[in-house]
Homo-oligomer: A and B are copies of this chain.
Amino acid sequence: MQAGMSDEPMVPPGFAASLVEIGQRMDRCRWVPGSAGNFSARIDDERIAITRSGVHKGRLTDDDIIAVKYDGSAFDPGDRPSAETLLHCQIYQKFAGVGAVLHGHSVAATVLSMASDAGGIAFSNYEILKAFGGIRTHETEVILPVVDNDQDMPRLVARVEPLLEMGAPLGYLIRGHGIYAWGETVEHAFWRVEALEFLLACELERRRIK
């Protein structure tokens, strides 16, 4: 709790600014309708900066970025973190190299995740797959996992756990809900979301012309 007692604000300004700005970019892509979506960044080994619940993610102010502990609780008891804060904490705890997590609701991710009850969506022969760490060729099949949605957050966290155990996937979809993706920085996490949404948009088109 030392951070809290020091003079520095619980959320350093740079962290707040980068989450506010990424919200504007997600909004321009139409991925955060209404008050949907949430974004976070790892501050240090005790603090995560995350978007407040119930605000439009394309019009955030620094004040909408709050600090939570790794157990998902807010440092300031007056703050209400997003209901999905635990999904962010889970990723930070699993992957030491992850510095930011982004969650959005796109039409393509929502529709494709609801189009079947499959556990994942397979992508192959896309050059852009190379954008995902460790993949050196487009001649590969990559699976974006899909988990069923659940309002019981601990149960949803448990459902996601084995996916992360398998090593860092590209990200994952929650059925009828949206995408979770992450990266070393907020900027890199956004690139990951953009690349995955591009693949989902392509898959949606391919299913129409088939």
On A, residues with C-beta under 8 Å from B are 29-30, 33-36, 56, 105, 107-108, 110-111, 114-115, 125-128, 130-131, 136-139, 149, 151, 174-178, 187, 191-192, 194-195, 197-198, 201-202, 204-209
Contacts and interface: CB of A to CB of B under 8 A. Distances in A.
Given A195-B36, A197-B33, A126 B110 contact: yes
A33 B201 CA distance: 12
Given A34-B194, A137-B151, A151-B138, A114 B125 contact: yes
A51 to B, nearest CB: 15
A71 to B, nearest CB: 23
A176 B149 CA distance: 31
Contact of A191 (B35, B187, B208): B35
Nearest to A203: B111
Given A36-B127, A36-B198, A136-B151, 12 more contacts: A33-B194, A33-B197, A33-B198, A34-B191, A34-B192, A35-B191, A107-B205, A111-B202, A115-B206, A126-B176, A127-B178, A138-B151
Contacts of A201: 107
A104 B171 CA distance: 24
A136 B150 CA distance: 11
Nearest to A29: B30
